Structure 1
Amino acid sequence: MLPQSLFSSYGQYKTDTDYVASWLLDTAKGCGYVVAERTAAPAAPPRLKGKARKAAKQKSKISGKESSESTPVYPVQVKELLPLAEHIAHASTPRPAVPPSFMRKLTRAIGLRKQHQTWHQHLSSAQSRGDEDDGHGHFIRILEKVQEALQSCIVPSEASAGRTVARNSAHNIPLTNVFDTLTVEEPMDEGDSSHGQGEIRTTCTVNTMDDPSIRNHERLFAQFCLMMDLHKIRTYLIEIWRVYAEGKEDLTVVAITTNTAIDFVRNLQKDIESTFSNQDLSQRPVCPLCIFQKLQSATATADSTDVCLLNTHRILSNYIKGFLVESDPLEYVPEVNPLFSELYVQDEGYIQDLAIVMGFIPELQLLSIAYPEGVQAEHEMLRGLRQLMQRKEPILWVTFAFQMYLDIRHVHKEDIAFAYDDLTDGAQSITRSINEALTCRGKAAVGKGTESGDQNLNSVLDLIEYWTVQDVVADARRLRLKDESRASLLPKHYLLQRDPLWCGLLLYTFRMIAYDRAIAVVGRWVSMSILPLAHLYNRLQQGELLKARWMDMDSVIRSQGIKHVFAGDLPCSAEDCTKRMALVMGLPLTMFARNRRNVVPRASAAKVRELITQVPVHYGFKDRHCDRGGRVDFTPGEVEKIVATSLAVPPLVKVNDIRQPLNRLTVALHAEVAELMFDYLKLHTICWEMMRRLEGELGSRVSEWSDTTHTEIELPSFVVSLMTEPAVKNPPPGKESELLKDAGRIMDELLRAKGTAVNLEGMRLVKNSARRKQRRRTGDVPALLMEE
C-alpha cells in the first residue's frame, strides 16, 4: 500500500521535501562533505492532550508498519539545504547527476509554496509584495537557489524543465495560473515504475518545528494545503451528484463515496492537529481556491454562497449558540418553521442556505437523541451533529459535511426527493422478491434446519419496514410533544425526503443485506435450484435443443465464472455435461459405475457447490453501514485496500491528489452495482418453478425417478436423474433423446415468459430513476426510457 502521507497535499509536499533533503545530504556526503554527527531521534514534540493526542496515537497505529520498515530519519535544517547543493555543484569530476525524480519533486514543492505565498500576500494586503523578508518566501528562495545551483548537474532533457519553472519568482505568479498544476498527471519516476512511490526511502527530514517563526509559517502553509484538499474533494462530490441527478449514476455509489470523503476530511484534520498542537482549524475557515475564483470571475459578487464552508460555518455557529449552548440539546429541540419546510426555498444566498439547514437540522437532532447508539446506515452529518451537541463549538469536518449537504440540495433543488423515490422503489422490489422466495420455500416444505434462513429473510423485511414504512422521526417527535396532533404538520418521511445521503446509504444497506442473505445465508438452497438448471441449460444448448437464450442464467454464469459454475471449462459432450453436474452437486463419481445400484442420486444442500459473492468493494463497507459495528473513520490508504480487491480498477502506482482514491472508489462501486442489484432470490423462485414443471411433465419417464414417491424438496435431485438418464447421458451419435427434446420444449416455454425477469426488474429500477430525472429536466422522456 502507498504511504498514507501521499494522499494529502501537505503530506505529498513533506514527502517531496524530505526526498530532496535526503538526496542532497547523501550525495554531498559522497562528494566529501563533512556533516556534524546527527541523532535519528527528532526533537521531542509538544505533549498533546485530548483529541489531538488521540489522533496522533491513531495515526501512529496506522503508520506503524511503514515506520518499522523504514531507515533512520535525521533532521536537516532549512538553512543547510543550499550549502549541500553548492557543494554538489562544485564537486570534482565525476560530478553527480541530478536524477529526474529530484527535479520533479523540487519543482512541485516550489510550486505549492508559491501558491501559498500568493494567497498569503492577498490576505496581507498591507504588506508590500516586494518585501524580501517575507517569511513565507524565505523557504521558496532557498529551494529556488538549490534548483539554480544544480542546473549544471541536470541532464539536458530535465534542465529545460527546471529553468522553465525557475523563471517565476516568489512574487510574480499570475492569479489565473496559480492552481493550474493541481490536476496535471506527472510521469512515473524512472526506476520506480514497478514499485511506485511507496518504495521511496528517505534518510532525513526538513526540520521546520524548532524555530518558532518557521513553525508558524509551516502551520499556516499546512492549513492552506488542507483547505485546498477540502475544495478539491468538494468539487469532485458536487460533480458526481450532478451525474446522479442526470440519471447516469446509482444513488448508492454517490452516497458511499460522499460519506467516505467526509471520513477523509476528518482524517486530514486529525493529521494537521496531531502535527501542530493547539491548532484551531474550525474558526472561520477560508478556502483559497474559492476566493481566487471569485476574484477572477467577471460576475463576482460580495455574496459568499459559493465559497467553501463560510456560510455553513456561520449557520452552524449560530445554531450552536442559539440551541445547543443556551439550552440543553437533549431536552429542547426546535421545531421546523413552516417557512423552511419546503423542498427548496427560492430565496438566494445566505438566506436560502439558512432556510435549508434550519428545515433539516432540527429533525436530525431529534433523530440523534432518539437513537443515541446510532441509526441504520448512519452518515457523518448525524454523527457529527452528536459531536457538536457535546462540544458546543464548530468542528471543521462537521462543517464540511453540512457544506456537502447544502451542495447536494443546490444540485437537486426541488427534485431533492428523487433519492427518496429511488430508496422506496428499491426497498419495495427487495420486499417483493423476499416474499416470493418465502412463499416458494413454504410450498417446497423445506423442513427442519432451514428455519434460521427464513428468519434471516424475515429480518430483512422487518428492517425495510422499520426504516421506510414507519416514520421513526415522526414517532420520536410525537413522544416529545404534549399535543400529539402537532406532529402531522410535517409530511410523512419529512427527513428522508430531504436527506439523499441517508437514502443512498439505506438503499445500499437493504441491497447489501438482501444480496448477502441470498448468497451467504440461504445460499445453499439458492445454489441447489440455480446450478442444476445451469447445467441442464448448457446441455440443451450443446444439443441445439433451445430456441431462446436464458439471459438471467447467462448473467449468473458470467458473474460466477464458467470454471466455478461448471467445475472447469464449459462441458460440451453429453457425458461431460453429466459428470460436471455431478461434481458441482456434490455427488460421487461412483454413481457412473456400470454395476451401480439403481438408486435415485440424492443431491445434498450440504455438499452442493455454492454461489460466491462478487462484490468485494461493497462488502468493504458492510460492517459499517449494515452491521453498525465497523470502522467509521476510513483513511484514503484503507479505502485503497478495499478498492484493490476490484478487478475493474487497475492497481494504483502513483497518487496525484486526494480526489484520486475517491474517483477509484466511485469506479469500483459502479462496476459492482449490477451484480449487487441482481436478484438471486427471484431467479431461485423461477428455477424452482421450472423444476416443478419439468418434474410434473417428465417425471414418469425418468426411470430412476418414477420408481418411488418424492417430495418437492427433492426437485434438484430430479434434474440430476434427468441428466443421468441413459438416453440423455449417452445418446446415439447425432441424435438426441425425445426426453431431452421435451425438456428443451418446456424450458423454452418458460424462458419466453420469465427468461429475462431478473434483468428486467433491475432495468426497471434504473429506468424509473432515469425517467423521473429526465422528465423533470426537459419535460420529455426519450422513447428508450419509456420502454418497459
Structure 2
Amino acid sequence: MLPPNLVSTYQQYKNDTDSVAGWLASTAKAVGYLPSSLAQQLAKGTSARLKGKARAEAKKQASSSTEPAPGNRYIIKISDFVPLAEFIASKPDISIPNSLLATLRRVIVARGGFNEKLANEGASADERSDAKHGYFLSVLRKVHEILIPKTSTTASSLAILTDKLYADAEAEAETTGDDFSNRFAGLKLYEPSEDFLNAPDIERPKVHEGDSGTYESEPPSSLEDLYIALTMLMNDLNKIRSRTEWIWTNYRDGFFDLAACAVTTNTAIDLARKLMEDVVPMFDSHGGLWEVMNRYHIIQVMMKGYQPFGLSSDVKDNFNYDTYDIASNTYILTYRLLEAFTRVVQPRVVPLYKEGMYGYYDPQSDRDSKSGYQKFEEDRVLHMQFFTELMAVERAVRDYPVEDEFLRGIKELASTKEVPFYLVFAAQIFPDIHYILRENVDRGFDTLEMNLRFLDREIEEHFKFHKDLKIGNWGAGNDKIVRHLQARIQWMLADPVYREPVPTSMEPHLLLKMSPVLSGLVLYHFRSSMWEMGIALADAWGSITYSSHLYNALQSQRLMSDRWSDMDMVRTLIGDSRFFVGDTPDTLDECFKKFCLPVGTTAAAFTKKRRQNLPLTSRSGPRGIKDGAPHIAKVVDLSLWETEGSEEEGTLILGQADPEKLKSKPKSRKANKSLVLPPEELIRALMFALQGESLELTLPYTAMHRECWELLRAVRKHCDPLLRQIFTPAYMERETELPFVVGYILSTPVERKDMRLLVEAAIAVTEFVRSDGSTVSNLLESIGVPVIFKREEEA
C-alpha cells in the first residue's frame, strides 16, 4: 500500500488549480456572492457527491483523521474565476493569503511553459484546442493581475522570488548534464526547482473557515490539456523507469539483494499504475488513451526533427524506426507489440512461440551499436517468448505463488482483449532489465533455486531434529503447515509450468530465468513464509529468547571474553527490545527480573519455596520475539535503516537508524501532512529499506532455534551436578523444560548470593560458541550471504 501523501506531478498541478478555484468560490460565498453556476448547484442539490468506492475511501480516510469529513463537491467554471476575483478585490476587509499567489503562479508557469515549448519547436496545434488553452491561461493571469494589488509586501516579494526561481529552473532544465533527471529531456515540462519547493509559505490556500464543501475547477476538455497531463505523467513515469534501471544496475554490480530489487520494482510498476489512473478517464472523449498517446508520440518525433513515418525495404510497416529511442520513451512500440499479441490470444489456448520466428536474441551482442529496427527486433524476440510463458501460467497453472504486475496485466489482457497502460509500463521494464543484465539475466533464477533448495533442507533438518522432541505449544497442526510449505517449495523446484500434463513452457524454468522480478518475488514469498515459521517455532520453544537472556547476563558480568557471533547478529537485526521488556538489563538483579517477565512467572518459582507441581510458566505462554520485519506498507516510514554518504562520491553506506530518532519519526511524519514524496524518491527509499531488512528476512531462524537448543543442552549437561546439588534432581523432569535452566542459573546469584552456577554456565557457553556459535553465519555464507562482524568500538 502506497503512502497517502504521495501524488503525481499532474495531481499536484490539479490540486493547485482546484485550490485556487476553491479559495475564490469559498471566500466570495462567505461574504455574499455566488456565481450563477454555483448558486444553481446549491439550489438544486446537484453537487458532485462521492459515490461507490470513492465515497467508501473518503469515509475510511475520515475515520482515521482528526479533520472533518469532506462535504459536497462543487464545480467552479473557468468563466467564473475573473468575476469572483473582481468581487473579492472590491472588499477592503478581505486579505489575500500568500499561499494563493504562490499556487496561482505555479499553475500559470506550468500551463504557459508547455504551450510555448510546443510553439518554439514548430509543432502544429489544433486551433480550437489552443484557443481553449490560451483562454484558461489568460483567465489565470487576469486573476493574478486583479489580486496582486491587495497582497502584502511579503507576498509581492514572494512573487518576484518565484519569477526568479522558475527562471532558474527553466535555465537549469536546458543546460544541466544530470543523466538521471534529463534522460528523457525531450519530454521535460517546466518544473519548480528544489529552492522553490523549499521556499517559505509555499502551501495551497484553504477554503473559508466553516465551509465543508469541496471545490474543483471545471475539468479540462481540450487536447492541449490532455498533452499537459500526459507530459506531466510521462515525466513521472520515466523517472520511475530510470530508478528501476538504477536498481538493477546496482543488482548487477552486486550491491542489492534480488528479493529486495524485485519487490521494489514491482511496487514501482504498481505506483505507475496508480499514477495513470488519475488521467486515463480524461482521454475517452478524444479517442481513448492510445489514440492520444499515438498523437503525442508524433509530436515528440516532430519536435526532435524527424518524420513520424518512414519506408524501408527492410521493414514491413511504415513506422520510422530511426525514432526508436523516442518511441521507447513514449511506450508506443511496446504498446504496438502488446496490441498485436491480443490478436493471437484465444480462450483456453496457449499461443506457442516458435523459436526463431522473429530471429534470435544474442545477449552478448553490443546493443549500443544496433540500429533502431535491430533494437526493436531484440524487444520483439524477448517479448514474444515471454508472452508465451506468462500465458502458460494464466491458462494452465493454478495457485502460482506470486503475481507481478506483468503477469497481472497479461491476465487482464487475456480476459478483456484490451491493453491496460500499466501492462505496457511493466512490459517496458522487462527488456530494460535484460539490457542491463544481458547474459547474466538468469542469475536471479540461480539465486532462487539455491535458496529454495536450502529452505527445503532446512525444513527437513527441522523434522529430523524434532522427531522425538515435542511440545504442547507446537502441535501436529503446525507440522502440517510446515510440510505444506515444503511441498510448495518442492513444487516450484519441479517447475509447475513445464511439468503440466502437456508442457506449455519451452524449457524448464524459462519463465523464472527470463524474469529476475518473478524470481525475486518468489524468493521473497518463500523467505517470508519461512521467516514466519521460524519465528513461530522459536516463540513456541523459547529457545532464542531464553538463550539471549543467559548470554546477556554473562556478558554484562564480564564472565565471557568470547562473542557469540550468531546471537550478536540476531540481536542486532531484531533489536534487544524484542527480547527484553524495557532497556537491556546490565545487573544480575535486572537480568533475573527481566527473564521472569517473558517466561510469565515469578521469582519464587526458581527458589526452594516453589510448591510441588507449580508450573514454571503462565497459561499465556512465553513472550516471544514476534513483530520482526515490518510489512512493506510501513517499511519506508518505520525503517530501521538509513543511508549515509553520497552515491555520486562512492561513499554511500546503509546503516541502522538511531532508535531515539525512530521514536519521533512517525510523529514528525504525521505532523507534516503537507509532505509530498516524489515517486522516484519513494522507490529509492523503499529499495534501501528493503535492502536493510533483507538479512533479517534471509536469516534461518529454524537453524538459530536448533543452535540455541543445543547451547541449552550443553549448559544443562555441564551444570547438571551443581543444579542437582542446589535444586535436587527434580529441577528438570523433561527436556521441554530445558529453557528454564536459565532461570535457575540467573536466580542463584540473586536469591542465594551464589555465583557458582553462573560461572559454570559461562564456561559451558564459551566452549559452545567457540565450536558451534557460527553455525547460522556459515549457513548464510553457503547461500551467498556472507556476514562480516565488526564491533562498534572497532568501527
Common fold, TM-score beyond 0.5? Answer: yes
Q: Do the aligned partners of residues 540 and 600 (structure 1) sit closer, same or farther apart at CA in structure 2, a change above 3 Å counting? A: farther
- Is residue 244 of structure 2 the alignment partner of residue 233 of structure 1? no
Aligned to 1:629: none
Distance 1:126 1:505 in 2: 46
Partner of 2:384: 358
Name the CA shift for 1:33/1:479 in 2 (closer, same or farther; >3 Å).
Answer: closer
Aligned equivalents of 2:247, 2:746: Cα separation in 1: 50
Give me the TM-score of the superposition, normalised by structure 1.
Answer: 0.78
**Structure 2: distance between partners of 1:390 and 1:203:** 38
Displacement of 1:272 in angstroms is: 3.0
Question: SS of the counterpart of 1:475?
Answer: coil
SS of residue matched to 1:303: helix
1:502 and 2:513 aligned? no
* Counterpart Cα distance in 1 of 2:302 and 2:223: 27
Q: CA deviation at 1:400?
A: 1.2
After superposition, give the CA deviation of every residue in 1:30-70 in whole Å (9 maximum; x if it has no partner).
Answer: 677564434249997999xxxxxxx9843443234458811
Letter of the 2:216 counterpart = T
The answer on 1:246 being equivalent to 2:241 is no
Summarize the alignment of residues 535-554 of structure 1 with structure 2, pairs less than 5 Å apart: 535-554=549-568
- The letter for the 2-side match of 1:62 is E
Q: Are positions 1:665 and 2:662 aligned together?
A: no
Deviations 1:519-561 (A, max 9, x none): 24x34334x1112211211221232211112233234444555
- Aligned residue for 1:429, secondary structure, equals helix
| Structure 2 letter corresponding to 1:404 | I
Change (3 A) 1:41 1:742: farther
Structure 1 unaligned regions, length at least 5:
48-54, 482-486, 622-644, 771-788
1:135 equivalent in structure 2: 132
Name the residue aligned to 1:689: 710
Write the mapping of 1:448-527 to structure 2, written as runs, cut at 5 A.
450-467=475-492, 469-476=493-500, 479=502, 490-520=506-536, 522-526=537-541
Rounded to whole Å, the distance in 2 between the matches of 1:70 and 1:147 is: 28
Query: Could you list the per-position Cα deviations for residues 81-134 of structure 1 after superposition, in whole angstroms to 9, with x for gaps in the alignment?
Result: 123334444544x5x4432321222222223323442465489834599x9963
Match in the other structure for 1:14: 14
1:4-49 deviations in Å (ceiling 9; x for gaps): 69612332222211211222234445677564434249997999xx
Q: Which residue of structure 2 aligns with residue 404 of structure 1?
A: 429
Contact 1:529/1:716 (8 A) holds in 2: yes
Which one has more relative contact order, counting CA pairs under 8 Å at least 6 apart? Answer: 1
Partner SS, residue 75 of structure 1: strand
Query: 1:573 and 1:542 mapped to 2: Cα distance?
Result: 7
Q: Deviations over 1:186-215 (max 9, x none)?
A: 23874979x9xxx99765322237xxxx45
State the partner residue of 1:316: 338
CA contact (8 A) 1:343 1:416 kept: no
**Letter matched to residue 269 of structure 2:** I
Kept after mapping to 2: 8 A contact 1:311/1:353: no
Map of 1:144-293 to 2, 5 A cutoff?
144-163=141-160, 176=174, 179=189, 181=191, 184=194, 186-187=197-198, 190=201, 203-208=214-219, 214=221, 217-274=224-281, 277=284, 280-283=288-291, 285=293, 291=300
What does residue 586 of structure 2 align with?
572
1:596–1:259 distance in 2 versus 1, CA, 3 Å? closer
Residues 602-640 of structure 1 deviation map (CA, whole Å, 9 limit, x = unaligned): 45795211111222224879xxxxxxxxxxxxxxxxxxx
Quickly say closer, same or farther: Cα 1:370–1:294, change in 2 above 3 A: farther
CA distance in 1, matches of 2:202, 2:280: 35
CA distance in 2, matches of 1:120, 1:648: 44
Equivalenced residues, count: 707
Partner SS state of residue 289, structure 2: coil
2:548: which partner in 1? 534
Q: Does structure 1 residue 295 correspond to structure 2 residue 316? A: no
Q: Distance in 1 between matches of 2:736 and 2:44?
A: 71
Tell me the percent identity. 25
Separation in structure 2 between the aligned mates of residue 168 and residue 583 of structure 1, nearest angstrom: 59
- Code of the aligned partner of 1:585: V
Matched residue SS, 1:74: strand
The answer to whether the Cα contact below 8 Å between 2:22 and 2:215 also exists between their aligned partners in 1 is yes
- The 5-angstrom pairing of residues 412-431 of structure 1 reads 412-431=437-456
d(CA) in 2 for partners of 1:25, 1:3: 30
Match for 2:597: what amino acid? L
1:307 aligns with 2:329: yes
2:621 equivalent among 587, 591, 607: 607
Q: Which amino acid aligns with 1:63?
A: A
Report how far residue 689 of structure 1 moved: 0.8
Evaluate the alpha carbon distance shift between residue 66 and residue 23 of structure 1 in structure 2; reply closer, same or farther with a 3 A threshold. same
- Does the aligned pair in 2 maintain the 1:582–1:588 contact within 8 Å? yes
CA contact (8 A) 2:5 2:676 kept: no
34-43 vs 715-724, greater mean Cα deviation: 34-43
State the TM-score, normalizing by the size of structure 2: 0.77
Q: 1:169 & 1:681 partners in 2: Cα distance? A: 58
Q: How far off its partner does 1:330 sit?
A: 1.7
State the secondary structure of the residue aligned to 1:717: helix
Matched, 1:585 2:638: no
On the 8 A contact 2:110/2:191 being kept in 1, the answer is no
Are 2:741 and 1:730 equivalent residues in the alignment?
A: no
CA distance in 1 between partners of 2:117 and 2:349 (Å): 42
Q: Is the deviation greater in 507-516 or in 228-237? A: 228-237
Q: Deviations over 1:666-706 (max 9, x none)?
A: 34433432322232222111111111111222212203253
- C-alpha change, 1:720 and 1:619, in structure 2 (3 Å) is farther
Assess, with a 3 A threshold, how the Cα gap between structure 1 residues 480 and 179 changes in structure 2: closer, same or farther: same
Question: After the TM superposition, which of the residue ranges 438-447 and 17-26 deviates more from structure 2?
Answer: 438-447
1:784 is matched with: none
Distance in 2 separating the partners of 1:375 and 1:41: 55
Contact 2:342–2:417 at 8 Å: present in 1 too? yes
Contact kept, 8 Å, 2:236 with 2:679, in 1: the verdict is: yes
Paired residue secondary structure (1:105): helix
Measure the CA separation in 1 of the matches of 2:779 and 2:456: 13
Q: Distance in 2 between matches of 1:379 and 1:133?
A: 41
Contact kept, 8 Å, 1:551 with 1:756, in 2: the verdict is yes
**Cα RMSD after superposing both structures:** 4.4
> CA, structure 1 residues 710+20, in 2 after alignment: closer, same or farther (shift >3 Å)?
same
Question: What's the offset of the Cα at 1:513?
Answer: 0.4
CA 1:344–1:104: 2 relative to 1, 3 Å? farther
CA distance change for structure 1 residues 428 and 123 in 2, over 3 Å: closer, same or farther?
A: farther
Code of the residue aligned with 2:494 in structure 1: it is Q
Mapped contact 1:340–1:358 kept (Cα < 8 A): no
The 1:534/1:569 distance shift into structure 2, 3 A limit, reads same
2-structure distance, mates of 1:568, 1:646: 14
In the alignment, the residues of structure 2 paired with residue 754 and residue 289 of structure 1 have an alpha-carbon distance, to the nearest angstrom, of 67
Deviations along 1:106-165, whole A, 9 cap, x unmatched?
A: 222223323442465489834599x99632222122212222333323334442442466
3-state SS of paired residue (2:518): helix
AA aligned opposite 1:355: V
Measured after TM superposition, the shift of residue 76 of structure 1 is: 1.9
Amino acid at match of 1:315: L
Tell me if the contact between 1:360 and 1:495 (Cα under 8 Å) persists in the aligned partners. Answer: yes
Deviation for aligned residue 1:747: 0.8
Letter of the structure 1 residue corresponding to residue 112 of structure 2:
K
Q: Work out whether residues 552 and 755 of structure 1, in 8 Å CA contact, stay in contact via their aligned partners in 2.
A: yes
Instruction: Provide the C-alpha distance between the structure 2 equivalents of 1:544 and 1:756, rounded to a whole number of angstroms.
Output: 21
- Which residue identity lines up with residue 320 of structure 1 in the other structure? T
Matched residue of 1:474: which SS? Answer: coil
Per the alignment, residue 654 of structure 2 pairs with none
- For the residues of structure 2 that align with 1:555 and 1:539, how far apart are their CA atoms? 17
Question: Which has the larger displacement, 670-679 or 540-549?
Answer: 670-679
